[in-house]
Amino acid sequence: MAIAELTLYQQAILLLAGLIALTSFLMLGQSRLVRLVSIFALQGCLLAAATALAATVLDYPHLYVSAALSFLLKGAVIPILLQRLIHRMGLHRVMDTIDHPARVMMAGSALVVFSYYVSLPVVRHSTLVTLNAIAVSLAVVLLGMLLMITRRQAVAHVVGFMSIENGLFFAAVVATYGMPMVVELGVAFDVLVAAVVFGVFFFQIRSSIDSLNVDQLSKLSEADQ
Residues 61 to 100 in contact with other proteins, rule: CB under 8 A: none
Q: Cβ of 220: how many Cβ atoms within 10 Å?
A: 6
Residues facing residue 169 across a β-bridge: none
Minimum distance, C-beta of residue 40 to other proteins, in the bound complex (Å): 16
Per-position DSSP letters for 130-149, written without gaps between them: GGGHHHHHHHHHHHHHHHHH
Per CB under 8 A, does 217 bind other proteins? yes
Cβ-based neighbour number of residue 182 at 10 Å: 8
Instruction: Please select the residue that binds other proteins; options are 76, 77, 107, 148, rule is CB under 8 A.
Output: 148
- Residues near other proteins (CB under 8 A), total: 78
Shortest distance in whole angstroms from residue 199 CB to other proteins: 11
Bridge partners of 5, per DSSP, are none
Residue among 71, 79, 73 at smallest CA distance from 51: 71
When the beta carbons of 71 and 169 are compared against other proteins, the nearer one is: 169
Q: Per CB under 8 A, does 110 bind other proteins?
A: no
Tell me which residues in 149-208 interact with other proteins (CB under 8 A): 154, 157, 161, 164-165, 168, 171-172, 175-177, 179-183, 186-187, 189-190, 193-194, 197-198, 200-201, 204-205, 207-208
In the list 93, 95, 99, 219, the residue contacting other proteins (rule: CB under 8 A) is 219
Cβ distance to other proteins smaller for residue 68 or 122 = 122
Site for other proteins in 1-30 (CB under 8 A): 1-4, 8, 11-12, 14-15, 17-19, 21-22, 25, 29
| Crossing angle (nearest 10°) for helices 62-70 and 33-58 | 170
